[in-house]
Amino acid sequence: MTALEKQGLAAKNAERVLAVAGQERKDTALLTIADALMARREEWLSANAADLAAARAGGMKESMLDRLALDEGRIAAIAEGVRQVAALPDPVGQVVKTATRPNGLKLEQRRVPLGVIGIIYEARPNVTVDAAALCLKAGNACILRGGKEAFRSNRAAVDILRDALESVGLPRDCVALVEDTSRESANEMMNLTRYLDVLIPRGGAGLIRSVVQNARVPVIRTGEGVCHIYVHAKADLPMAARILYNAKCSRPSVCNAAECVLVDEEVAAEFLPLAWEQLKEKNVALHADAAARAILPWADPAGEEDWDREYGDYQLAVKVVTGSEEAVDFIARHGTGHSEAIVTGDADVARWFMDRVDAAAVYVNASTRFTDGFEFGLGAEIGISTQKLHARGPMGLEELTGTKYLIYGAGQVRE
């Protein structure tokens, strides 16, 4: 057996224990994990410092360094997220529906864990803890494969998690880390059908598309975020400028950040200079169409590739549109089904936009940055699903379960 196959077998065995552990035991494990993360934070910070030093030496851009970095505040927030997961209702065992058939058979559909979940992700050590906590609460074992940039941070976090699990009598192998960060290990994981029940990629568009195209394990597609802010002709323009600034600049590297702004031609001459007054504080590079460049002549010309690009940085595509129809058509062609927003004072237009835009989250007069499990009251999230089967939007505990039928009889046979 390969090293990954051995991890898969161990995870399968651990999941059988975890699936029936019960809420009290799982919650105790999660609270122990939260305490251990704080007690051993210096260990985690030291590993993260080594990752950051290597990433800087390798030329990683600042927005990606921000995703990689840990500090006292972030670790405290991660630990608090684990405590919040512990406080959430346990979906495992919940009865979805019941029925009694004419022959007397009693049917019960009940929530159960998915099994063993594989997660492939990039340079975000918080994902290691968030994903493990949610999987554990929902009764799933998990095998984590992070990027090489965060390997030291991820290994330190998983060591803490596994020690905490063992201390409360649960198998260490409920959580495992793939230590080989090569392309070969990712390919093997995508084909580990004997041991993985589902695979979730979290990261940039390239990673997600690679997993979707190459995996034989069932995949939940998450994270691609070419998100738009559409400024309608009847928008409150100062509010629209604040929303755009927040959606683009608060954390440009995350998947719910705006990558493109669409502006009605009727208000473009007034809105774009107003928005630029805020965007220039972060030196945002604009990639604009001809109509927008007529107003902001210093902007770079936008190419066709800019409309489909997830920049993950202080860069923004800008397009002037003739109205709502063009805006919705543009989003349909270039959006990734993640989060889309309209800023308008017209309630009828707002409803029209929400009905016609096909995305996991559609906003009126708010930043796309709220598409997040914590902000939606789900606790930490496993990712933002942009597909339509099984789960869509922020994936919390319920989305990490499936169902099975329990059938109670009294000697019935099928004639």
Report how far Cα 352 is from the mean position of its chain's Cα atoms.
Answer: 27
Assigned domain for 60 exists: yes
- Residue 98 identity (one-letter amino acid): T
Q: What percent of the chain has pLDDT over 70?
A: 99
Is residue 252 domain-shared with residue 117, that is, in the same domain?
A: no
pLDDT band of residue 183 (cuts 50, 70, 90) is confident
Opening angle at CA 50, ends 45 and 51, nearest 5:
95
Is residue 20 domain-shared with residue 96, that is, in the same domain?
A: yes
**Pairing, β 106-113 against β 401-408:** antiparallel
- Which DSSP symbol is given to 236? -
Is residue 12 domain-shared with residue 87, that is, in the same domain?
A: yes
Neighbours of 273 (CB within 10 A): 12
pLDDT at position 379, please? 65
What is the phi/psi pair of residue 65, to 5°? -60, -35
Assigned domain for 22 exists: yes
CA 371 to each of CA 97, 146, 233, 327, 341: distance values in angstroms, whole numbers, following the listed order? 29, 23, 25, 21, 11
Tokens of 400: 């990490």
Assigned domain for 415 exists: no
CA atoms within 13 A on the CB side of 143: 31
The CATH number given to whatever domain includes residue 354 is 3.40.309.10
- List pLDDT tens digits, range 257-278: 999 999 999 999 999 999 999 9
Q: Are 249 and 368 in contact (CB under 8 A)?
A: no
Q: What percent of the chain has pLDDT over 90?
A: 79
Between 396 and 311, residue with greater pLDDT: 311
Assigned domain for 179 exists: yes
Query: Structural domain tally of the chain?
Result: 2
Assigned domain for 328 exists: yes
Verdict on whether the full-model pTM lies above 0.85:
no
Q: Are 215 and 191 in contact (CB under 8 A)?
A: yes
The CATH number given to whatever domain includes residue 29 is 3.40.605.10
Is residue 126 domain-shared with residue 17, that is, in the same domain?
A: yes
Is residue 212 domain-shared with residue 243, that is, in the same domain?
A: no
Hey, is 219 helix, strand or coil? Answer: strand
Mean pLDDT over 21-28 rounds to 96
Tokens of 30: 């999660």
CA dihedral for 81, 114, 89, 158, sign (positive or negative): negative
Q: Among residues 314, 313, 316, 328, which one has the least CA distance to residue 292?
A: 316
Q: Among residues 110, 135, 123, 122, which one has the least CA distance to residue 48?
A: 123
- List pLDDT tens digits, range 55-79: 999 998 887 888 899 999 999 999 9
Which helix (H) or strand (E) segment is 282 a member of? none
Is residue 311 domain-shared with residue 275, that is, in the same domain?
A: yes
Tokens 């339509």 locate to 388
Is residue 105 domain-shared with residue 12, that is, in the same domain?
A: yes
Assigned domain for 250 exists: yes
Neighbours of 288 (CB within 10 A): 24
Assigned domain for 347 exists: yes
Hey, is 179 helix, strand or coil? Answer: coil
- Give CA torsion, residues 310, 311, 316, 318, to 10 deg: -40
With a cut of 80, say whether residue 325 has pLDDT above it.
Answer: yes
Is residue 51 domain-shared with residue 158, that is, in the same domain?
A: yes
pLDDT at position 380, please? 66
Tokens of 69: 């970095």
Query: 308 lies in which domain range?
Result: 227-370
**Weakest mean pLDDT among 37-46, 175-184, 341-350:** 175-184
With a cut of 80, say whether residue 373 has pLDDT above it.
Answer: no
Is residue 85 domain-shared with residue 144, that is, in the same domain?
A: yes
pLDDT at position 389, please? 76
Tokens of 216: 């034989």
Is residue 389 domain-shared with residue 347, that is, in the same domain?
A: no
With a cut of 80, say whether residue 386 has pLDDT above it.
Answer: no
Is residue 126 domain-shared with residue 59, that is, in the same domain?
A: yes
With a cut of 90, say whether residue 210 has pLDDT above it.
Answer: no
**Pairing, β 300-301 against β 285-288:** parallel
Quote the CA–CA distance of 206 and 85 in Å, as a whole number.
Answer: 30
Neighbours of 154 (CB within 10 A): 30
Q: Among residues 156, 154, 83, which one has the least CA distance to residue 125?
A: 154
Q: Which of 198-202, 372-376, 387-391 has the highest mean pLDDT?
A: 198-202
pLDDT band of residue 367 (cuts 50, 70, 90) is very high
Determine the length of the chain: 415
Is residue 200 domain-shared with residue 245, that is, in the same domain?
A: no
Quote the CA–CA distance of 189 and 195 in Å, as a whole number.
Answer: 10
Assigned domain for 35 exists: yes
Average pLDDT along the chain = 93
Hey, is 336 helix, strand or coil? Answer: coil
With a cut of 90, say whether residue 29 has pLDDT above it.
Answer: yes
Mean pLDDT over 343-355 rounds to 97
With a cut of 80, say whether residue 238 has pLDDT above it.
Answer: yes
